Amino acid sequence: MNFDFEEEHKLLQDMLVNFVNKEVKPLAQQIDREHKIPDSLIKKMADLGLLGTYIPEEYGGAGMDYFSYIMTVEEVSKACGSTGVMISAHTSLACDPILSFGNEDQKKKYLPLLAKGEKIGCILLTEPEAGSDVANIQTTYKREGDYFILNGNKIFITNGGFKGIGVVFASFDRSLKHKGLSAFIIDLESEGVEILKNEEKMGIRGSYTTAIGFNNVKIPVENLLGKEGDGFKIAMETLNGGRIGIAAQALGIAEGAFERALAYSKERKQFGKPISENQAIQFKLADMIAKIETAKLITYKAAWLKNMKKTNAMESAICKMYASEVATYVTKEAVQIFGGYGYICEYEVERMYRDAKITEIYEGTNEVQRIVISKMLLK
What is the set of active-site residues?
Answer: 363
Residue 257 φ/ψ, nearest 5 degrees? -65, -40
Q: How far apart are CA 258 and CA 260, in angstroms?
A: 5
CB 319 within 8 A of CB 301: yes
CB 241 within 8 A of CB 91: no
Which run of H or of E encompasses 158? Answer: strand 147-158
82: number of Cβ within 10 Å: 26
- Return contacts of 28-33, CB within 8 angstroms, 24+ apart: 28/79, 28/80, 28/82, 28/83, 28/348, 28/351, 29/345, 29/348, 29/351, 31/80, 31/82, 31/83, 31/205, 31/206, 32/80, 32/82, 32/205, 32/206, 32/351, 33/205
Beta-bridge partner residues of 148 = 143, 219
CB 363 within 8 A of CB 241: no
CB 211 within 8 A of CB 84: no
Q: Are strands 165-171 and 121-124 parallel, antiparallel or unpaired?
A: parallel
Report in angstroms the alpha-carbon separations of 284 from 277, 333, 340, 374: 12, 7, 17, 31
Among 235, 116, 101, 109, which residue's Cα sits nearest to residue 177? 235
CB 292 within 8 A of CB 254: yes
Among 123, 71, 117, 115, which residue's Cα sits nearest to residue 94? 123
* Half-sphere exposure at residue 366, Cβ-oriented, CA atoms within 13 angstroms: 18
